[in-house]
Amino acid sequence: MDAFFLQVLNGLDKGGAYALIALGLTLVFGTLGVVNFAHGALFMIGAFCAVTFRKLITLEQVVLSKTELSPWGTPLEIRTPYAQQWFGDFGNVLIDYSVPFSLLLAIPVMLLIGISMERGLIKHFYKRPHAEQILVTFGLAIVLQEIVKTFFGANPNPQPIPQALQGAADLGVMVGLAQHTITYPIWRLVYLLFSLSVIASVFAFLRFTTFGMVVRAGMADRETVSMLGINIDKRFTIMFGIAAVVAGLAGVMYTPILPPDYTLGMDFLVLSFIVVVVGGMGSLPGAVLAGFTLGVVQSLASMTAVKDILPGIDQIIIYLVAVIILLVRPRGLLGKRGVMEN
Amino acid sequence: MFNIPKKDAITFVLFAIVVLTMPIWLAPLGASYPGLLQKFAIYALLAVGYNILFGLTGYLSFGHAAFLGVGSYAAVWSFKLLSMNPVLALVFAIFFSGLFALAIGFISLRRSGIYFSILTLAFAQMSYKLAYSVLSPITHGENGLQLTLQDPRAIDMMFIERGSSLPTSSLFGIPMNGYAGFYFCAVILLIGFFIAQKITSSPFGMMLKGIKSNEDRMNYTGFNTKPYMLTAFVISGIYAGVAGGLLSITDPLAGAERMQWTASGELVLMTILGGVGTLVGPVIGAWIIKYFENIFSAFNESVLHNFFAFLPDNFESIVVLISSKFVGEGWHLTLGLMFVLVVVFLPGGIMEGVRRISARFSNRKDPSKGEEVIDPENLPKPDLKKGE
């Protein structure tokens, strides 16, 4: 039973990442009607925002010491990060918490990338068939990941967890179980909470702001909204930017869990597409629900008890779920009737 | 069976000449070595087969790599169990990939559009993951399936003694590596091309094109499109299986990475780059991509320095610095850029570019100068079933 809870928890943080990526994909599909295969690349770029940020703030000034000698007899090099020199103690905090702080870098960068992507390339593809949209964004994904590879190389770039958030939390104690029954890495808990709050803020944004209301109206009936004199294209462009930001933020916070390399996007892309389809094309709650469900299902399938009965099930469970859903209920878990149903 | 229209016959003869003289005309391009030539022939066959599905019916499959993998494994198993005869291996590859395609197609074709793509992708990924994990007794997982000295090879053992070294696949005593291997692949490619030509011009092919234009309308006129689609899917899967078998014949080592979805993606790139729906286009696309992969990726800075030596020195180093990002390890960047540009500006691929240029040069002549190009512009566009 404890193992069961643990696996559910493990699944939830992975599910959080799936849900965030799928949420962005669905936003783009629901507003612009574009199937964006470059969305995984946006997740990857977000992760590399964290890498870049850390590289920038750990730039060091190297001073040769006048008195001390290194073991080789040469003057000792004293390395002090510029951040520490300029900001003092806050600089150290900045370095320690580089991953959360890089969210601040990621937001403008992802917004810019998202909007320029939409304006530069994707707007020409609204009227083209889905197959061509898939192809052009797939090509774009290759280009983006190769550019990242040129700058950061092919090796994974591990990012540290802030000191205070390292280690594991003993969740079992909180619910009255014995010690060390359910321990869970704190950072994964942070990630879960983070993804929930991002999801909540996206929904709140769409639900409670005028901008969100217009966007929802545009999703329902684009033509009527534009006939009412509202520049719906501009809002949809901004929504594309927001979708890129969501993917980017998901990527930033995921870096301590999985060291990012340039293929990260492609790895997540296939899974998140399956999440979108299982949730129902164009359904935002569906994407979130399917994201968490598939995350949990995947980690439950990797329990030894399950693997003993069905060997190899952990490898294919997500695809299997997708196939079954598509055959039995093609509009997905929460998809609207009539939207992309055949 | 062999009475084909004159135009098709000319295309076929020209194509045959081009393929069979490849060792000669590729020599100045630095690509005339057997290993690469074999790949040219094999991947061209793969692309021709893929085009039967994607080009004629418009169904975008992201799972053809699975059939390639099944074909490779089937061929290697036929080497291991029965005989080193390549024809037998191909029969094995055809049988198993066909069976596999029948099963996957039967399920996947219950949906169309992007759902079909996702279903094929899911099946291919499942095969890939299983080949790596649970099916290791059959696929030998990460090591890949290889020949060993202890293989039974039941049929061969009746006629010859067990040798002390690993055998190579051979037909009538000619080993299937080097140029002989290339010509074997080339002959199979020509047969495949001929069959594809026959299919394209047959009533069956017309039916498939009808499905691409408007499947609903085909249904309303009383055709049950499902059997046609399934047949097209299986045929195209068999092409992929044969290509996989040929890969194993020329180099008897089959690995699971052939089944990964990026391999399917590459196949889609080949077809699009050359020109969807044309017969020659996918072949050209396959050649370009394989050429880039093998030749372009081997470029390094010193080659570039030689190439740009005519420029002034300072300028040269800048040019070399920039262009070095696009060759060698970065050739994928070139590929991606090329691909985006083609999809944006030339949705019909290279063949459309050729047709546009030739139309410009011969304004007065027959506008259908582009030979067997099926012009996607002139076909009625299917209604976009957008969920808006």
Give the number of other Cβ atoms within 10 Å of residue A231's Cβ: 11
Could you give the angle at the alpha carbon of A41 between the alpha carbons of A37 and A44, nearest 5°?
150
Residues of B in contact with A325 (CB under 8 A): none
Cβ-based burial of A334 (10 A; exposed 0-12, middle 13-18, buried ≥19): middle
Question: Stretch A281-299: mean pLDDT, rounded?
Answer: 88
Question: Which band of pLDDT confidence, cut at 50, 70 and 90, is reported for residue A340?
Answer: low
CATH code of the domain covering residue B240: 1.10.3470
Give dist(CA A245, CA A255) in Å, integer. Answer: 16
Q: Is B344 among the domain residues?
A: no
Cβ-based burial of A43 (10 A; exposed 0-12, middle 13-18, buried ≥19): buried
> Would an 8 Å CB–CB cutoff place A143 in contact with chain B?
yes
Q: Is A73 among the domain residues?
A: no
List the domain range (segments joined by +) for residue A120: 2-59+99-328
Give dist(CA A325, CA B56) in Å, integer. Answer: 28
Q: What are the Cα distances from residue B212, in Å, to A127, B125, B264?
A: 18, 26, 21
Strand, coil or helix: B365: coil
Give dist(CA B374, CA B372) in Å, integer. Answer: 6
Q: Which helix (H) or strand (E) holds B247?
A: helix B225-250
Strand, coil or helix: A37: coil
Q: Is B158 among the domain residues?
A: yes
Residue appearing with tokens 């649970």: B134
Q: How far is CA A222 from the centre of its chain?
A: 28
Q: Is B348 among the domain residues?
A: no
Q: Is B382 among the domain residues?
A: no
Q: What are the Cα distances from residue A235, in Å, to A32, A208, A242, B262?
A: 10, 16, 10, 34
Q: What pLDDT, on a 0 to 100 scale, did the predictor assign at position B376?
A: 53
Q: What total of structural domains would you count in chain B?
A: 1
Q: Is A334 among the domain residues?
A: no
pLDDT in tens, chain B (388 residues): 566 778 888 888 899 998 888 888 887 777 778 888 888 999 999 999 999 999 898 888 888 999 999 999 999 898 888 877 888 889 989 999 999 999 999 999 888 877 888 889 888 888 888 888 878 777 787 777 877 777 777 777 677 766 666 777 777 777 777 788 888 899 999 999 999 999 988 889 888 888 888 888 888 888 888 899 999 999 999 999 999 999 988 888 887 888 887 788 888 888 888 888 888 889 999 998 888 888 777 776 677 767 777 777 777 777 777 777 777 667 778 888 888 888 888 878 888 888 888 888 876 554 444 444 555 555 555 555 444 3
Name residues 167-206 of chain B within 8 A of A (Cβ).
none
List the domain range (segments joined by +) for residue B217: 6-280
Q: Is A74 among the domain residues?
A: no
Rounded to the nearest angstrom, the minimum Cα separation between A89 and chain B is: 40
Query: What are the strands, taking DSSP E only, across B58-191?
Result: 145-146, 170-171, 174-175
The reply to whether residue B115 touches residue A135, judged by beta carbons under 8 angstroms, is: no
> Would an 8 Å CB–CB cutoff place A326 in contact with chain B?
yes
> Would an 8 Å CB–CB cutoff place A176 in contact with chain B?
no
> Would an 8 Å CB–CB cutoff place A338 in contact with chain B?
yes
Rounded to the nearest angstrom, the minimum Cα separation between A117 and chain B is: 13
CATH code of the domain covering residue A212: 1.10.3470
Name residues 346-365 of chain B within 8 A of A (Cβ).
347
Q: What pLDDT, on a 0 to 100 scale, did the predictor assign at position A109?
A: 93
Q: What total of structural domains would you count in chain A?
A: 1
Q: Is B384 among the domain residues?
A: no
Q: Is B285 among the domain residues?
A: no
* Cross-chain CB nearest to A320 (options B126, B268, B329): B126
Q: Can you read off the two tokens belonging to residue B29?
A: 């391009």
Q: Is A313 among the domain residues?
A: yes
pLDDT tens digit string along A71-83? 777 777 777 777 7
Q: Is A282 among the domain residues?
A: yes
The residue in chain B having the minimum alpha-carbon distance to the alpha carbon of residue A125 is: B344
Q: What pLDDT, on a 0 to 100 scale, did the predictor assign at position B388?
A: 38
ipTM of the complex, rounded to two decimals = 0.78
The reply to whether residue A146 touches residue B333, judged by beta carbons under 8 angstroms, is: yes
DSSP A74: S
> Would an 8 Å CB–CB cutoff place B272 in contact with chain A?
yes
